[in-house]
């Protein structure tokens, strides 16, 4: 299985994994599962951290990046196809641009999005696979 972590799933896995459902954690920890995270999440973390909307327990966003790489997670960057294809995600379904880009990256790369966000069922018709 190939998973893309939503921003909150990435943070929680690294800082407070008991907030992630056990079945999802077990799947993430399997050796045959490839786990990905996106530079979009790094941008969202940095933005919210700088605005004081995200508090991390005595760690910085840079440490989160280091820990994700230590876990063996793969990093996705924003490609030209991501940037141009972003328009395919209807904004009326989900207004957060970070979440919309993660949804688009999951669809475009045939990854299963790991997210507890409500309303993701609406994106199944566009090809989104997700679990929580």
CATH number at residue 109: 3.40.50.1010
Task: Look up the domain containing 26 and give its range.
Answer: 2-131
Q: What's the pLDDT band for 92 if we cut at 50, 70, 90?
A: low
Of the candidates 67, 58, 60, which has an alpha carbon nearest to the alpha carbon of residue 46?
Answer: 60
Lowest mean pLDDT segment, chosen from 4-13, 19-28, 118-127: 118-127
Buried residues in 39-53 as b, exposed as e (16+ CB within 10 A): ebbbebbbebeeeee
Helix axes 7-15, 61-70, angle to 10 degrees: 80
Instruction: Give this prediction's pTM.
Output: 0.93
> Which residue carries 């999951």 as its tokens?
106
According to the per-residue pLDDT averaged within each range, which of 5-19, 88-102, 116-130 is highest?
5-19
Please write the tens of the pLDDT for every residue from 109-121. 999 999 999 889 8
Query: Over 80: is that where the pLDDT of 80 sits?
Result: yes
Number of structural domains in the chain: 1
């Amino acid at each position: 299985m190939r998973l893309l972590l939503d921003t909150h799933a990435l943070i929680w896995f690294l800082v407070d994994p008991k907030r992630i459902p056990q079945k999802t954690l077990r799947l993430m920890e399997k050796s045959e599962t490839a786990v990905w995270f996106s530079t979009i999440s790094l941008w969202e973390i940095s933005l919210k951290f700088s605005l004081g909307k995200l508090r991390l327990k005595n760690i910085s966003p840079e440490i989160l990046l280091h820990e994700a790489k230590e876990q063996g997670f793969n990093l996705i960057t924003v490609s030209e196809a991501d940037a141009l294809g972003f328009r395919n995600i209807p904004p009326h379904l989900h207004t957060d641009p970070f979440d919309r880009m993660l949804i688009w990256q999951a669809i475009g790369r045939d990854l299963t999005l790991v997210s507890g966000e409500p309303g993701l069922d609406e994106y199944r018709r566009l090809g989104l696979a997700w679990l929580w």
